[in-house]
């Protein structure tokens, strides 16, 4: 990937504007991270609370550059056969069975065992060639002609061993397959790793990445996000609902509402044809924002206060 | 590579931000791509390359602001091809590095200039870049000169607050304050009206340098002082650590525990699947014409290691027991099952307390509940009736105590039966090895029924022992 190929990435401001045209409102910091990742050819490790747009960042990036997005969802027990490559065992078995008869013809007239083996050797490792290789997301990302966006989602859910597997790919953009050799990326993909911090990522992996922490956005930024996603919401209501969500985030909740919940809430309020927040309405729609019964109960007593704050500010 | 970046990274390292050489190179590349022009953007960019956790990022941001607050002028100088300085707070648009001579000075000659015109020696002083910068209120040139002088004086090595005066003097000297001082003295002798003005410039200069040294001291020395403290604390006898330092020690224990946990948690997982069971796989393959469809894994039996910690909490050993327990319970992610027992005259299980309360609180409760005079015999007896049946070949028993039994019956037979049943018995004794067996100490006899007995009275030793423990419990 070169700068010439992507006029969308020439400067931090251009990136910001580009993202905005796809409805992803980002802070300077996020745009800087994308710019650096592209310039330095480094993967980005994106951390932050759930629902702040970590995965969305990679998706928007793929839209912006019009390149394929290849996504690898991590989970416990993910191994190289599912992430990197696998041999097409079925095809290999089938071919050996089918070709059994051919062997007779081939070896016809061969004198003794040594010569037969000699003849067989001429065919090389047919069954372990790229024909029989089943590329999984990581390898697939390397094989894209025009580069790709590789999204390794929730890397913290995977095992430690899997992290080590990633190291070669992330630092050199290549994969070693014992039977074939090293496969280099045709065009280095842009890699985004996301993590929800359920466990510490190893130092070795962190060292190879740029580290981007996305916190919850400021009121101003979140209002812009809501405006871009739900443009029909009245400006006053938008301000009120964002203020309200922000004060909710200050409370001790099991799961605080994220940006995606703010957007959902804005949509629901729009459907209900409201133009300002009131206590009754909030109580009715609170389950859009809060996903635990405990949280809803804990907030109940505070609603009056919170709504007043949000409507006054 | 810009030197300021390197020394900035040094500062970060003293504050426990781990930065590898590879990351230093990344930071250099970030710098090359972003340039010095946009301060906030540079801060974001460097932060991404250097700080890898939210905590580190907080430290990074704080240090960045401190470190580059003054140094911005220095940077523009080192990159010769970009003479323009785009500093946010540069008030005037003129080129600050070039000391312009007379233009900015007002038409009215000040008393100082009048005096200078009359005296060529004074004129030389006034014409020096330093005084010119002071007169023109040119903070860029001044801070540039200051940071250069500071670098030459080795200010980044400042460690103690007592060194502040010394460094201030050295920097002032390097900047040519001496000339200024003698000029002031000359003027004073001559009782010239220009004296007050020059005196004022000199005071400004001194104040500036003093502020600068102060800021640098805070930046460089703070981290170093803390490192030094931790080093000392980890080697001090735990019973000698003063109360006011206890919270630091707790932090330190946590840090050590985190380190050990990281080192050992990784290996535990490797064994889960086990190896390919080739013979069995082949045998099963026979029915399929020798094709090995089904693979068998030789699963490693999941052992359930268990740790029983027995702590003497009588006055003499209580301090040590506290840290052992703190350590063990900080490692709960790695150490699977820890049961703890506390005793002085009688013994009881205290695992519940640790489940119900935070570690520090639990330790206090234990001390309060079980403190008193020691009786190892009874305690061992109590332990045997409580937990002897649970000890098997996967159990590690750790006993912490000074083995001073007040001349009672040591009940060595119980320890021996523990020894025979368990995987290992480790005795940690806070007394130094020479004192073992003296007076009423039964240590030498107890030692005969231990797999391993060690002296353990500071954090370094404790860390080493627990490291071994983690290795052997798998």
Confidence of residue B465 (pLDDT cuts 50, 70, 90): confident
Nearest chain B Cα to A36, which residue? B30
The model's confidence at residue A209, banded by pLDDT at 50, 70 and 90, is: very high
Q: For the segment A5-54, what is each residue's pLDDT rounded down to a tens digit?
A: 678 888 889 999 999 999 888 889 999 999 999 999 899 999 988 888 89
Contact, A195 vs A154, CB < 8 A? yes
SS3 B430: coil
Residue B431 near residue B394, CB atoms below 8 Å:
no
Q: List the single residue in B with minimal CA-CA distance to A39.
A: B33
Q: Tell me how many degrees the CA angle A100-A105-A108 measures, rounded to the nearest 5.
A: 125
H or E element: which one contains B426? strand B424-429
Per-residue pLDDT band for B302 (boundaries 50, 70, 90) equals low
Most confident among A130-144, B212-226, B338-352 (mean pLDDT)? A130-144
> Which among A40, A203, A211 is the nearest to B29, CB-wise?
A40
Chain A neighbours among B 241-300 (CB < 8 Å)?
262, 266, 269-270, 291
Where are the domains positioned within chain B?
3-78, 111-231, 253-270+303-472
Cα torsion A225, A228, A230, A234 to 10°: value is 90
State whether residue B52 sits within 8 Å of chain A by CB: yes
CA distance A169 to A139: 9
pLDDT tens per residue across span B419-463 = 888 888 989 888 888 888 888 888 888 888 888 888 888 888 888
**Percent of chain B clearing pLDDT 70 (strictly above):** 84
Alpha carbon B282 to its chain's center: 55
DSSP string computed for B49-85: HH--SHHHHHHHHHHHHHHHHHHHHHHHHH-TT----
Across the interface, whether the CB atoms of A40 and B41 are under 8 A apart is answered: no
Which residues on B lie below 8 Å from A210 (Cβ)?
26, 48-49
> CA-CA distance, B197 to B208, in Å (whole number)?
17
- Residue of B295, B316, B410, B411 lying closest to B367 (CA atoms): B316
On the question of pLDDT at A105 being above 70, the answer is yes
Selection from A217, A291, A306, A287 nearest residue A254 by Cα: A291
Alpha-carbon gap, residue B443 to B436, rounded angstroms: 6
**Chain B residues touching residue A45 (CB < 8 angstroms):** 52
Contact check, Cβ <8 Å, B270/A200: no
Averaged pLDDT for residues B353-358:
79
B33 contacts chain A (CB < 8 A): yes
From the list B20, B29, B48, which residue is nearest A211 (CB)?
B48
**Residue B247's pLDDT is what?**
75
Secondary structure (DSSP) of A54-73: HHHHHHHHHHHHT--EEEEE
Between these two residues, B419 and B79, which has the higher pLDDT value? B419
Place B466 in a pLDDT band, splitting at 50, 70 and 90: confident
Q: Cβ(A151)–Cβ(A37) under 8 Å?
A: no
Cβ within 8 Å, pair B20-A160: no
Count of alpha carbons within 13 angstroms of residue A105, beta-carbon side? 4
Helix A293-300 to helix A279-289 angle, to the nearest 10 degrees? 160
In whole angstroms, give the CA distance from residue A16 to residue B78: 31
From chain A, the residues in CB contact with B54 under 8 A are 47, 213
B22-42 average pLDDT score: 88
pLDDT attached to residue B82: 37
Give the gap in angstroms from C-alpha B56 to the nearest C-alpha of chain A: 11
pLDDT at A3 over 70: no
| Closest C-alpha to B138, from B179, B96, B78, B91 | B96
Return the bridge partners of A46, or none.
A194, A212
Does the pLDDT value for residue B114 go beyond 80? no
φ/ψ (deg, to 5) at B448: -65, -20
For residue B286, give the DSSP letter: G
Among the partner-chain residues A40, A44, A206, the one whose CB lies closest to the CB of B33 is A40
> CB B34 to CB A36 under 8 A?
yes
* Closest chain B C-alpha to A130 CA, distance in angstroms: 22
Neighbours of B296 (CB within 10 A): 16
Confidence band for B98, pLDDT divided at 50, 70 and 90: very low
Rounded to the nearest angstrom, the minimum Cα separation between B90 and chain A is 23
Q: Which of A33, A93, A211 sits opposite B291 (nearest CB)?
A: A93
CB contact under 8 Å between A39 and B33, yes or no, is yes
State whether residue B41 sits within 8 Å of chain A by CB.
yes
Cβ <8 Å between A161 and B269: yes
Question: Which chain A residue is nearest to residue B270, measuring alpha carbons?
Answer: A161
- Evaluate the CA torsion angle B133, B139, B143, B146 in order and state its sign: positive
Which candidate in B45, B260, B270, B293 is best for mutational testing of the A interface (most A CBs within 10 A)?
B45
Contact B45 A160 (CB under 8 A): no
CB contact under 8 A, A32 and B291: no
Identify the pLDDT of residue A59: 92
Q: Is B344 exposed, middle or buried (0-12, 13-18, 19+ CB in 10 A)?
A: buried
pLDDT at residue B95, as a whole number? 40
Question: Does B16 reach chain A within 8 Å, measured CB to CB?
Answer: no
Rounded Cα distance between B453 and B450, Å, is 6
CATH of B253-270+303-472, one of 3.40.50.410, 3.40.50.300, 3.40.50.620, 3.20.10.10: 3.40.50.410
Residues of B within 8 A of A36 (CB-CB) are 30, 33-34, 45, 48-49
Q: Where are the alpha helices (DSSP H) in A193-234?
A: 203-207, 219-229
User: Coil, strand, or helix at residue A76?
Assistant: coil
CA-nearest of B221, B214, B418, B397 to B310 is B397
Q: What is the pLDDT of residue B272?
A: 57
B58 shares contact with chain A (CB less than 8 Å): no
Taking the C-alpha atoms of residue B343 and residue B401, their distance in angstroms, rounded to an integer, is 10
Residues 6+ apart with CB under 8 A from A129: A180
Say whether B33 and A36 touch across the interface (CB within 8 A): yes
Q: What percent of chain A has pLDDT over 90?
A: 27
Does residue B99 belong to the interface with chain A, where contact is any CB pair within 8 Å? no
Tell me what pLDDT residue A60 has: 93
- B23 at interface of A, judged by CB pairs closer than 8 A: yes
The rounded distance, in Å, linking the Cα atoms of B451 and B421 is: 12
Return the sign of the alpha-carbon dihedral for residues B214, B218, B220, B225.
Answer: positive
ipTM, two decimals, is 0.81
């Amino acid at each position: 990937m070169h700068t010439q190929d992507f006029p969308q990435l020439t400067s931090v401001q251009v990136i910001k504007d580009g993202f905005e045209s796809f409805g992803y409102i980002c802070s300077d910091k996020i745009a800087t991270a994308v710019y650096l990742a592209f310039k330095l050819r480094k993967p980005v490790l994106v951390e932050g609370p759930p629902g702040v747009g970590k995965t969305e960042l990679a998706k928007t990036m793929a839209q912006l550059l019009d390149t394929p997005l290849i996504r690898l969802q991590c989970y416990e027990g993910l191994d190289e056969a599912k992430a990197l490559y696998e041999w097409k065992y079925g095809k290999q078995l089938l071919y050996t069975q089918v070709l059994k008869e051919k062997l007779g013809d081939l070896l016809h007239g061969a004198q003794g065992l040594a010569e037969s083996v000699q003849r067989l050797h001429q065919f090389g490792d047919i069954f372990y060639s790229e024909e029989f290789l089943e590329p999984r997301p990581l390898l697939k990302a390397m094989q894209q002609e025009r580069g790709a966006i590789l999204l390794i989602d929730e890397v913290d859910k995977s095992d430690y061993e899997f992290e080590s597997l990633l190291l070669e790919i992330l630092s050199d953009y290549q994969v070693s397959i014992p039977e074939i050799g090293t496969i280099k990326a045709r065009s280095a993909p842009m890699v985004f790793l996301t993590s929800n911090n359920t466990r510490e990522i190893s130092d070795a992996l962190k060292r190879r990445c740029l580290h981007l922490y996305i916190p919850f956005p400021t009121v101003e930024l979140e209002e812009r996000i809501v405006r871009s996603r739900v443009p029909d919401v009245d400006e006053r209501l938008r301000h009120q609902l964002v203020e309200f969500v922000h004060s909710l985030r200050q409370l001790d909740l099991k799961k605080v509402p994220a940006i995606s919940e703010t957007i959902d809430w804005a949509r629901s309020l729009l459907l209900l044809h409201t133009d300002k927040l009131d206590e009754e309405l909030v109580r009715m729609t609170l389950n859009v924002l809060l996903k635990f019964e405990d949280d809803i109960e804990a907030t109940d007593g505070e609603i009056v206060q919170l709504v007043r704050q949000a409507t006054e500010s | 590579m810009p030197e300021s970046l390197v020394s900035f990274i040094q500062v970060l390292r003293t504050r426990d931000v781990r930065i590898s050489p590879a990351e230093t190179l990344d930071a250099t590349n970030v710098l090359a791509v972003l340039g010095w022009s946009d301060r906030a953007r540079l801060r974001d960019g460097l932060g991404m390359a250097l700080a890898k956790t939210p905590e580190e990022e907080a430290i990074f941001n704080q240090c960045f602001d401190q470190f580059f607050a003054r140094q911005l002028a220095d940077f523009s100088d080192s990159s010769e091809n970009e003479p323009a300085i785009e500093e946010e707070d540069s008030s005037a648009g003129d080129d600050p590095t070039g000391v312009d001579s007379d233009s900015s000075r007002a038409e009215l000659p000040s008393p100082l200039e009048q005096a200078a015109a009359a005296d060529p020696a004074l004129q030389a002083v006034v014409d020096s870049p330093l005084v010119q910068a002071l007169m023109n209120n040119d903070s860029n040139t001044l801070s540039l000169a200051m940071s250069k002088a500071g670098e030459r004086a080795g200010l980044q090595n400042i460690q103690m607050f007592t060194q502040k005066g010394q460094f201030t003097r050295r920097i002032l000297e390097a900047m040519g304050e001496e000339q200024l001082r003698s000029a002031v003295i000359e003027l004073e002798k001559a009782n010239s009206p220009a004296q007050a003005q020059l005196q004022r410039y000199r005071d400004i200069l001194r104040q500036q340098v003093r502020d600068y040294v102060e800021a640098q001291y805070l930046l460089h020395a703070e981290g170093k002082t803390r490192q030094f403290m931790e080093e000392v604390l980890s080697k001090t006898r735990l019973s000698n650590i003063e109360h006011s330092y206890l919270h630091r020690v707790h932090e330190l224990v946590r840090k050590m525990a985190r380190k050990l946990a990281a080192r050992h948690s990784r290996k535990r997982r490797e064994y889960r699947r086990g190896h390919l069971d080739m013979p069995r796989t082949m045998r099963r393959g026979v029915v399929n014409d020798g094709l090995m469809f089904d693979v068998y894994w030789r699963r490693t039996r999941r052992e359930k290691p268990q740790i029983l910690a027995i702590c003497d909490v009588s006055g003499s050993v209580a301090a040590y027991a506290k840290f052992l327990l703190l350590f063990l319970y900080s490692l709960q992610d790695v150490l699977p099952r820890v049961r703890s027992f506390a005793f002085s005259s009688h013994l009881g299980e205290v695992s519940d307390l640790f489940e119900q309360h935070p570690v520090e609180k639990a330790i206090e409760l234990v001390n309060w509940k079980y403190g008193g005079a020691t009786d190892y015999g009874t305690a061992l007896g109590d332990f045997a009736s409580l937990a002897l049946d649970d000890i098997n070949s996967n159990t590690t028993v750790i006993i912490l105590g000074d083995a001073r039994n007040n001349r009672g019956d040591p009940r060595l037979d119980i320890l021996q039966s523990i020894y025979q049943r368990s995987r290992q018995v480790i005795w940690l004794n806070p007394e130094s090895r020479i004192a073992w067996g003296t007076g009423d100490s039964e240590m030498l006899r107890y030692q005969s029924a231990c797999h391993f007995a060690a002296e353990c009275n500071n954090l370094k030793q404790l860390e080493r022992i627990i490291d071994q423990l983690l290795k052997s419990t798998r």
